[in-house]
Amino acid sequence: MTPPPPAIHLQHDGAAVRLLIDHPQRRNAFTRAMWRSVPGLVRQALEASPRALVVQSAVTGCFAAGADISEFEATYATAAESLRANDEIQQAIEALAACPVPTLALIDGPCIGGGVAFALACDIRLASERASFAVTPARLGLSYHPSDVTRLVRACGRAGAAELLFSGRAWSAQRAVAQGLANSVSAAADFTTEAEALISAICANSLDATQALKRSLSAVECDDAVAVERARQEFEAQFAAPDFLEGRDAFLARRTAQFPSHGSSKEPR
C-alpha cells in the first residue's frame, strides 16, 4: 500500500487543538509543503478558540527529523531558491511562536535541526525517554537562523547552545532537561498520560488569564518596558474582569469555575 503523502494534520481534541506531524517513513522530516502549511493551520486552529495548541507526531516514537533530504537537490539548487525555502521555514516557526494561547511540544523521539527550532517556538517542551535533540546545520556548512539561535540560548544558555550548534551532537532527553531545553522527561509508557495531565491542567484554567500570562512572559523575556507596563495594566484590570469574578466565587463556593472566556468550547477531559 502506498503511504499517504507527508502532511501536518489539524485535530480538535476537546479544549485543545493539535498539530500532528505525519511523515513517519522519514521520521517526520518536514517537506516544503509541510512548512508552508503551518501558518494557515495555526490560523485555522485559533478559529476554534482553543485553550492550548499541542504539537506532536501523528505516530509514536518520533517528533521531527529536520528537513526532508529527498528535496535537497531541488530546494538548494540555487541561492535564490535556498532563500525562498528558508523563508518558508521561518514563517512556519514564527507563526507557531506568535500563537497567543499556550503551546506545548510533545517530543517522543528524534528532534533534529528544524525540528528543534519548531519545538523551541513552543512555550513548553515535554520529552519521553526516547527523545533526543540535535542541531545539525553546521554539518551542511550552514549556521542557524538568528531567531532560532535566540530561542536556543534562552532555553539552555549560551554554553549549551554553543555545544549543540558547534558539534551537531545529540543530547539525550535527560541532558535536554538538565540544560533547560525540555521541561521534563517521562518513561515512554507514562509519557502520554503525564503530558495529557498537564494539557488538561492548562485547559482548565482561565483562557483570558493564560493569554495575559503569555503576553507578560514575552514582555519580561524581551525586557520591553512598554510591554511590561501594558502587562501591569492588564493585570490590574483583571480584578474587575468576568473570569476573575467567576474564579473568586467558585473558589469561595468550593466548586469548579466556569470561566466566561471558555465560551462554548468543550471542557477538558
Q: How confident is the model at residue 1 (pLDDT cuts 50, 70, 90)?
A: low
pLDDT of 264 strictly over 70: no
What sections of 98-238 are H helices per DSSP?
Answer: 114-120, 146-167, 173-179, 188-204, 207-221, 225-237
pLDDT digits (tens, 9 = 90+) for 226-247: 999 999 999 999 999 999 999 9
Give the predicted TM-score (pTM) of the model: 0.94
pLDDT digits (tens, 9 = 90+) for 60-90: 999 999 888 888 888 888 999 999 999 999 9
pLDDT digits (tens, 9 = 90+) for 126-170: 999 999 999 999 998 999 999 999 999 999 999 999 999 999 999
Distance CA(158)–CA(177), nearest Å, equals 16
What sections of 121-179 are H helices per DSSP?
Answer: 146-167, 173-179
* Contact predicate 55/122, CB 8 Å: yes
**Domains of the chain in sequence order:** 7-202 (3.90.226.10), 206-262 (1.10.12)
Of residues 230, 47, 192, 223, the one with CA closest to residue 108: 192
Q: What pLDDT shows up at residue 103? A: 98
Cell of 219: 514582555
Distance CA(265)–CA(188), nearest Å, equals 31
